[in-house]
Amino acid sequence: QSALTQPPSASGSPGQSVTISCTGTSSDVGAYKYVSWYQQHPGKAPKLMIFEVSMRPSGVPDRFSASKSGNTASLTVSGLQAEDEGDYYCSSYAGSNNVVFGGGTKLTVL
């Protein structure tokens, strides 16, 4: 499977909103509700922020929201804060117990 497509970078000022896209195909993002989003800070392990397209795990602020339309999923971070800066990765189930990740987006809080 090919990696999902994410923009390499995104940015916003504190308090603003930013949306990161994640484009796959009809065999992965478009076929299943199993899209997840992860936040990664430098030198740290990824942290689950969203699962099953739009569900937030306990402890993740409601500033983080996500959706999916067709073959493209999106993560929106509202009310940007300095600690939101980091790398964000989407992932999707791709059938036959396979998972595919996106290439990652570096979010900068200006």
Partner 1 sequence: QVQLVQSGAEVKKPGASVKVSCKASGYTFTSYYMHWVRQAPGQGLEWMGVINPSGGTTMYAQKFQGRVTMTIDTSTSTVYMEMSSLRKEDTAVYYCAREIQPHAFDIWGQGTMVTVSS
Residues binding partner 1 (CB under 8 A): 1, 3, 34, 36, 38, 45-48, 51-52, 55, 57, 89, 91-93, 96-104
Cβ distance to partner 1 smaller for residue 13 or 42: 42
Handedness of CA 21, 26, 32, 33 (dihedral sign): positive
Distance CA(36)–CA(69), nearest Å, equals: 14
| Residue nearer to partner 1 on the CB measure, 16 or 98 | 98
CB of 79 to partner 1, least distance (A): 24
β-strand partners of 9: 106
| Cβ 97 to partner 1 shortest distance, Å | 4
Closest approach of partner 1 to the CB of residue 48, in Å: 5
Question: What is the C-alpha separation between 10 and 106, in angstroms, rounded?
Answer: 6
Cα-atom radius of gyration of the chain, to the nearest Å? 13
Nearer to partner 1, 26 or 42 (CB): 42
Counts of helices then strands in the chain (DSSP H, E): 0, 9
